Amino acid sequence: MALPSPSAVQVPWRNLSSEELEKQYSPSRWVIRMKPEEVVGNFVQIGSQATQKARATRRNQLDVPYGDGVGEKMDIYFPDEDSQAFPLFLFLHGGYWQSGSKDESAFMVNPLTAQGIAVVVVAYDIAPKGTLDQMVDQVTHSVVFLQRRYPSNKGVYLCGHSAGAHLAAMVLLASWTKHGVTPNLQGFLLVSGIYDLEPLISTSQNDPLHMTLEDAQRNSPQRQLEVAPARPVAPACPVLVLVGQHDSPEFHRQSKEFCETLCRVGWKASFQQLRGVDHFDIIENLTREDDVLTQVGLPTPASNSLSKWTAWIPRPNMAEAKAARAEEKRWCVHAKANASSTEGHGAWVYYYCCC
């Protein structure tokens, strides 16, 4: 049964024309550093080069099966230390659930393995072969598989980009009891994601997905948390919801509202907009050791402090924060009653934690 739809006042996308809605959910059309038609090819090239380098320079196990399906494989990249007691950084690629591959997604491997962190890049069956329900099941099972394979891990940190951020968010809803294991989830990093899929139904992005309204609602973490809140895996498990400055207003709105929903149901969530980047180079930059997202401060084998996960967050200039919020006012329709800002300087346009 379809969930009741919020009123048009609460969902500004319903007031958009079909042309504007298509534009809002076409990330390459918001990139200002190159032509839209060049963006995806450039992204794939950078990802492929990073993956080739990672496979050539880091200790690894490739195409490790985490299930019985042909597409259920993962690549595992290890730090230099010969130990299984490391943090696991699990990455889910984007591509609107219809493109992308683990073979072009090892952006962050070299910077993170140099910090003593094992990186896992997961494949899943994209459309039209895979359905959204199957993809959600697959990525959930990949987390279970890793926990069983590395029971002494120092925490599983789940990161997803775009469609991968949606899949990572769906893991928040997982019922671990039926899987017979509770993974040691210690953090979520959701980058430029979509958390309410209903706006996509009438766009070209849905052509290979064939989503119905019920499909979209069943697989929308935003909607599912609103009607059946999922309790945090652990009280200290933080969720960072990120978006690039040059993502579209709809991507900004979805990220902020999902963060607010997480906070309302008890998760330790925060939202940040990263200055000067778009939907694509926010991930491309992970190849750099000095990029802010590769300096997340995950606990290393020598330090298991969970507080380091959030300690790295820079505090922005408040004048920039005020200007950014004013610019997006018409897209941000929910009151930030629980939000707080902190003065300072950093890489973010603005920051708030609603916990």
Question: pLDDT digits over 130-175, tens only?
Answer: 999 999 999 999 999 999 999 999 999 999 999 999 999 999 989 8
Residue 64 belongs to what H/E stretch? strand 60-65
- Residue 5 CA to residue 9 CA, distance in Å, equals 11
Which amino acid would we find at residue 304?
Answer: N
pLDDT digits (tens, 9 = 90+) for 123-140: 999 999 999 999 999 999
How many C-beta atoms lie closer than 10 Å to residue 119's C-beta?
28
Note whether 261 and 225 are within 8 A (CB): yes
Helix (H, G, I), strand (E, B) or coil at 169: helix
Would you state the pLDDT for residue 10? 66
Note whether 87 and 300 are within 8 A (CB): yes
- Whether residue 300 is predicted with pLDDT greater than 60 in this model: the reply is no
- Whether residue 338 is predicted with pLDDT greater than 60 in this model: the reply is no
Mean of pLDDT values over 6-15: 66
pLDDT band at residue 84 under the 50/70/90 scheme: confident
Helix extents (H) in the chain: 18-24, 36-57, 109-113, 132-149, 163-171, 213-218, 221-227, 249-264, 281-284, 308-311, 318-327
pLDDT band at residue 354 under the 50/70/90 scheme: low
pLDDT band at residue 36 under the 50/70/90 scheme: very high
Which amino acid would we find at residue 265?
Answer: V
Enzyme catalytic residues: 162, 247, 279
Which one of 95-99, 308-312, 342-346 scores highest in mean pLDDT? 95-99
Residue 301 belongs to what H/E stretch? none
pLDDT band at residue 327 under the 50/70/90 scheme: very low
pLDDT digits (tens, 9 = 90+) for 239-265: 999 999 999 999 999 999 999 999 998
Note whether 106 and 60 are within 8 A (CB): no
